[in-house]
Structure formats: structure tokens, C-alpha cells
Structure 1
Amino acid sequence: MVLLSASLLMLAGCGSTPPGAINDMCAVFDQRSGFFSDWYSEARRAEKRYGIPVHVMMATIRVESGFDGDARPARKKFLGIVPGKRPSSAYGYSQALNGTWDQYRRETGRGMARRTDFGDSIDFVGWYYSKTVQKYGVPPDDAFTLYLSYRYGWTGFSRGNWRSDSGAMKSAARTANFADTYAFQLAKCR
């Protein structure tokens, strides 16, 4: 019994380790399909619920966390060596901020949702993007513009704060490129 419990704990802990070959959508889903989790089913469920294509949500998680459920922004260093505060509360697969994550949990009734759970995180991305589509009329498959709303939040996005941020534009282009690649791969693997 002790051996079984230890094995289950080890397997449960593997979920936050990023899958290998994260640039290959088929490989990501194949590596995360099993008894404890099925990322493909969770991604499709979010797509049906919110109308945001799987490849767009997966590209966002790829850029935000590299599919690492424990991802956090790097700490700033004090005097170059002493770890200080993190620049934001972003955490988990979706890199959702505390306030936005709390809003998601309230509005969806998913009070037990965790940012370290892939299913909860992809549902969050779908929820966030569906609200962007409703508020700003962004097409649900426009990964570039949706990502800018995600990175800047709805207020910063509506103000156009991203226009002068070359880093944001590069990340949005990267997200759009991954979305295109993932869409092509997804059509061939499932």
C-alpha cells in the first residue's frame, strides 16, 4: 500500500514538468494523455465552452510558460545576488495574475481551480479570450491580437499601451506563429 501511495504521488507530481518537444503539438498531447490527465480532452472542452480554437490557447500557454505548471517570473536581484521580489504574481501554465485568476474563479464558479492544473489553466485562457472577443470584437482565431490583450490586460489593451512595446509585439508574433504551426500539426495528429 505504501508503495502504491508513493507511486501515485510521484506520478501526480510529474504533471507540472514540461513535456518534451513543446514545439510539436502532437507530441505534447501524446505525452500528456493518460490515466491522470488528458490535455487534448481538456483543451477541446475549453474550445467548446468558449469558442476559442485549441491551437490559439495552446500557443498562448507555450509562450507564457513553456507548458511548465510551476512557472513564475524570475525574481529581481538586490545588489546583483540577493533574490528580491518577483515583478508580478503571474504563476502556473497560464501565467495568470492573482486578481484576474480570482475574477475567473468567481465568474465561472470554479473556486477550486488551480493555476498549476493544466485543465484549469487552459479553461482560464479560453475564458479570458472569449471575454476579449466579446468586449473588443477580436476574431477568436486572431492569436496575435488576443495575445496582446492577454499580456496587457483589458485596460492596457484598450488604451493601446502595447503599441510602443517591441517586446510585446515580438511575443504576440511568436504566439501567432506557434498557433499557425500548432493548427497545421493538430490537423494531422488527431
Structure 2
Amino acid sequence: MNKFLKVAIVLLVASCGGGNYSAPRNLDNACALARERPQYYTAMKRTEQRWGVPVAVQMATIHQESKFIGDARTPFRFALGVIPMGRQSSAYGYSQALDGTWEEYQRATGKRSAKRDRIADATDFMGWYMHESQARLGISKYDARNQYLAYHEGRSGYARGSYNAKGWLVAVADRVQARANLYQQQLASCRR
């Protein structure tokens, strides 16, 4: 009985530990995604209302950054192919926000307890970042391509045009725009 009690306590504690960070089943259908994870859609609508960033742009960016996996991290770097040297960056969570940028967001919005692995906080961060990109760089909040480039390169990198030397990144940004367009069409039809 004592051994059973110990196992039960360990299982109970383990089950309380983390959230469900797995990706939704159908990432290619915005309506299915919203039905499967209504809290995602609610968070994105709230961000759209607060910051003016369309749900489709948020969805496409999150799809590219984390595939909707809440605890996503960048891969490890290895020296000589085998010695772990840490992660490629501090990017974490749905939005893949870097430590410094996340801290800037927390200071600017007063949301000290915001977490990158909580969808409502991640979408609010994204809305804040894209709102600032529009204010500082003049990028429309509906322009998923250029918003993504500024998001990936940072605003100063975007202003310098650093993405122009990265053909692969421009291609990724084009795919983000195409996905945002697709999601927008789907969201318009599933509301009916």
C-alpha cells in the first residue's frame, strides 16, 4: 500500500506539471484549427481588437514560427558535430519571442507575468510587436510578408534591409503571406 501511495503521488504531481503544447491536428485549415482550439481563436480575436492585427496574419506567423507548439524551442548547436553548445537562440513558445524582446514587451505593456507558452500572451506579444512595426516602419498590419520580415530580422534589421541578402528568408516571408491569404479566405467562409 505504501508503494502504491508513492506511485499515485508521483503520477498526480506529474499530471499537474505542464500544459498541452502539442500542435492542432489540421494546420492547413483555419476553421478546423479554430474549432479544435477555440481558446486560440479567442486569443487572436482579442489581439485583433486590441492591436488591429488580423487573425489570419497572427495565425500564419505562429504557423511559421512554432507550428502552434506552445513550448517550441530552437534546435541545439553542436561543435564538431557532437559537442552541445546551447540553443541557436533564446526564442521560445508560440511566437518564438527572444528573451530580450519579450522583456521589452513586458515592460512596455506592464504584463510582467506574461508567458511565451500561453497562447493569449503570445498573440498579445505578436500584436504589440506588429503594432510597433507599423508605427516605426510604416508596415501595414495586413501585410503578413513584411510584418514577418520585420518580426524575424528585428525592426532595425528590417530598416537596414538585412533580409535582402537572405533569399531563403524572403521565400519564407512569401509563404507566410500566402498562408495568411489562405487563412483569411477560410475564416471568411467558416463564419457563415
Task: Choose which of 26, 32, 36 in structure 2 pairs with 1:31.
Answer: 36
- Equivalent position of 1:132 in the other structure: 133
User: How many residues are aligned here?
Assistant: 183
Q: Which amino acid aligns with 1:21?
A: N
Pair 1:141–1:74, CA change in 2 (3 A): same
1:91 positional shift: 0.5
TM, length-normalised to structure 1: 0.90
1:17-56 CA-partner distances (Å, limit 9, x unpaired): 11111111111111112xxxx1111110000100111100
Q: Which amino acid aligns with 2:160?
A: R
Pairwise CA distance, 1:10: 6.2
In the TM superposition, residue 78 of structure 1 has moved relative to its aligned partner by: 2.3
Distance between the aligned counterparts of 1:133 and 1:6, measured in 2?
47
Match of 2:178, SS state, is helix
Provide Cα deviations, 1:71-107, integer angstroms capped at 9, x if missing partner.
Answer: 1111012222232211211010000000100010111
- In structure 2, the partner of 1:106 is 107
Contact 1:58–1:122, Cα closer than 8 Å, also in 2:
no
CA distance in 2, matches of 1:92, 1:18: 12
Equivalence for 1:13: 19
Alignment deviations for residues 134-169 of structure 1 (CA, whole Å, 9 cap, x no partner): 111111100011100000001101111111111210
In structure 2, distance between residues paired with 1:53 and 1:13: 26
* Aligned sequence identity (%): 40
- Structure 1, unaligned stretches of length 5 or more? none
The change in CA–CA distance for 1:12 and 1:24 in structure 2 (over 3 A counts) is farther
SS in 2 for 1:47: helix
Deviation at 1:67, TM superposition (A): 0.5
Matched ranges for 1:31-180 at <5 A: 31-33=36-38, 38-180=39-181
Unmatched segments (≥5 aa) in structure 2: 1-7
Q: Bigger shift: 111-120 or 24-33?
A: 24-33
Contact preservation (8 Å) 2:23, 2:67: yes
Give RMSD over aligned pairs: 2.1
